[in-house]
Structure 1
């Protein structure tokens, strides 16, 4: 399949997207992929460029520069998550000029996703990220600034304005994220505790709980309302409340049953359900969540886990779920979680993702 995509003779949209999502499963073909770049158009090269980038291979950089020069830099969040495998120091010189384009005329959501994934390594981009405050991408920009932390301290006043409802376009979930970012850039939790705590008490809990979880023991004053929300009728609220309660108190006993109840072995990948998030949090809790280990091993051993994600995205979603399950098991019961061996082509063919490919 990789050879078919490289020589562009017998391939398809599905084959292209299978290869770009494959990551380590096609790492043995890295030299072939690298050697094939530059022989076609920027558009036809994109799957190979992303495949190489997903391995963290720096040979993807010249092709990414060509994409940027042609105003064709990858512009979706899934692509940003693939690009995050490359070192920020190497890819930022390519990304920064793209970010400097007029933020009012194009969405920077994918690039902001990339910067957020890099976290503090994105510090050289603070000036560019600031330009997205007050645009349709404000919420994503605040996330980046919070992930960068103290190097973004110059944005503290603007973040405080959003947190208190004075920022341009403020409203909705802006105050909670802005207050969290404010704490992350200056280190003072007072504003975040006030704004996010008020959200938890007011019934808009799901917008405040993840930030209280990040604050951890600093949010001890909000333990009681967080504990009550573990009995909410909303699955996401229960999950976030259990996570926040554990992070705030350090006590896993009430949280583990709530999280385990949401781990459905028949989950089909529906993003409206918090199954993968529950698994991830159980992994963070570690050994005290040992009661979850048998179920997680059973899910990991299934031949096919997800059926809902659409077409090529299914491979990426399944890989992410396998990583989450494996990492959770390794933290809960080290040495007992084994990921299935990569078998990309058989899995793809079985799920009907390729309509034509060449050996």
Structure 2
């Protein structure tokens, strides 16, 4: 299949996307893919570029520059995550010029912000661009990137405090929580994060605050009881995030494991509206105390077809990601 796509033979949309999504499975053909870049249709060339980038192969960089010049960088988060395996220092010169343009002109903005968040502190050269994104439709993602960058984003500390407290006229309710968390990650001072996210938990608008309390861990001990009550919420995502936060805050996985096991549905079709994969990931983080989950996770992993619902043309990518999550969770539980 790789040879057919690289040879610009008449291949189907499914065949082209299978090569792009196959990730490490086509690593043996990296030389052929690299040699084929720039010789096929723009459509096929873009998919082959992403396939090569997904291997961490720096030979994808010139082609990625061409893709960026044509305003055709990935426009969704799953494809952006493919690029995250490339070194930030090598790819930032491609990404930053795109971010410096009017974000409304680019469908790729959300994907690129996801990429910067995944790179974390290595995205420091993008701090000024992230500050400029505050007040746009991408404010939430820009705040998240600044938090992931951490102390190197100290220049944004005052703006983060303004968003966390609602003083900034562009601040919305979801912005306050992520901004407060980002302020802690940038400054090392947890006061705002504990106040804002703790208030969200007590007010019943908790789902956006729980992951940040989980990150704060034992620092959020004063909110442990409120978090535990939310493990009985009618919302699946809230129950999952509450279980995670309670374990991270208290160090006690006992109450969390049954909640997470209940969400690890073996019949899950891949619908991103359900927290199944997140529950599996957290069980793996808990490790050996979650040994009761191991038989279920192994049974899911052994299924011939785990995900039956294609989503935005990235079904193989979604299945690969789920396999990695299941495998890593079992390794965590088994102590590997």
User: TM-score of the superposition, structure 2-length normalised?
Assistant: 0.97
Rounded Cα–Cα distance in structure 1 between residues aligned with 2:4 and 2:264: 39
Give the structure 2 partner of residue 182 of structure 1. Answer: 183
Rounded Cα–Cα distance in structure 1 between residues aligned with 2:71 and 2:313: 24
* 1:338-357 paired onto structure 2 within 5 Å: none
Rounded Cα–Cα distance in structure 2 between residues aligned with 1:184 and 1:170: 19
SS of the equivalent of 1:170 reads: coil
* 1:285-300 paired onto structure 2 within 5 Å: 285-300=286-301
Does the Cα contact within 8 Å between 1:14 and 1:311 map onto a contact in 2? no
Rounded Cα–Cα distance in structure 1 between residues aligned with 2:210 and 2:104: 31
Give the structure 2 partner of residue 3 of structure 1. Answer: 3
Give the structure 1 partner of residue 102 of structure 2. Answer: 102
SS of the equivalent of 2:103 reads: coil
Does the Cα contact within 8 Å between 1:133 and 1:141 map onto a contact in 2? yes
Give the structure 1 partner of residue 235 of structure 2. Answer: 234
Give the structure 2 partner of residue 162 of structure 1. Answer: 163
Pair 279,139 (structure 1): closer, same or farther in 2 beyond 3 Å: same
Give the structure 2 partner of residue 350 of structure 1. Answer: none
- After superposition, the C-alpha distances for 1:43-83 in whole angstroms (9 at most, x for unaligned) are 43100000000000001001011112233223322221111
Instruction: State the Cα distance separating 1:311 from its structure 2 match.
Output: 6.7
Instruction: State the Cα distance separating 1:139 from its structure 2 match.
Output: 0.5
- After superposition, the C-alpha distances for 1:270-290 in whole angstroms (9 at most, x for unaligned) are 111111000000000000100
Pair 104,46 (structure 1): closer, same or farther in 2 beyond 3 Å: closer
Give the structure 1 partner of residue 84 of structure 2. Answer: 84
Whichever structure has more helix as a proportion of its residues is 2
Does the Cα contact within 8 Å between 1:145 and 1:185 map onto a contact in 2? yes
Rounded Cα–Cα distance in structure 2 between residues aligned with 1:71 and 1:158: 30
Does the Cα contact within 8 Å between 1:14 and 1:312 map onto a contact in 2? no
* 1:247-262 paired onto structure 2 within 5 Å: 247-262=248-263
Rounded Cα–Cα distance in structure 2 between residues aligned with 1:26 and 1:167: 49
Rounded Cα–Cα distance in structure 2 between residues aligned with 1:248 and 1:311: 36
Does the Cα contact within 8 Å between 1:103 and 1:131 map onto a contact in 2? no
Higher relative contact order (CA 8 A, sep 6+): 1
Rounded Cα–Cα distance in structure 2 between residues aligned with 1:19 and 1:297: 27
Give the structure 1 partner of residue 215 of structure 2. Answer: 214
| Pair 1:32 & 2:42 matched | no
| Pair 1:318 & 2:306 matched | no
For structure 2, which runs of at least 5 residues remain unmatched after alignment?
A: none
Instruction: State the Cα distance separating 1:188 from its structure 2 match.
Output: 0.2
SS of the equivalent of 1:188 reads: coil
Does the Cα contact within 8 Å between 1:252 and 1:288 map onto a contact in 2? yes
| Pair 1:153 & 2:154 matched | yes
User: TM-score of the superposition, structure 1-length normalised?
Assistant: 0.91
Instruction: State the Cα distance separating 1:39 from its structure 2 match.
Output: 1.2
For structure 1, which runs of at least 5 residues remain unmatched after alignment?
A: 336-359
Give the structure 2 partner of residue 192 of structure 1. Answer: 193
| Pair 1:46 & 2:68 matched | no
Does the Cα contact within 8 Å between 2:134 and 2:142 map onto a contact in 1? yes
Pair 172,14 (structure 1): closer, same or farther in 2 beyond 3 Å: farther
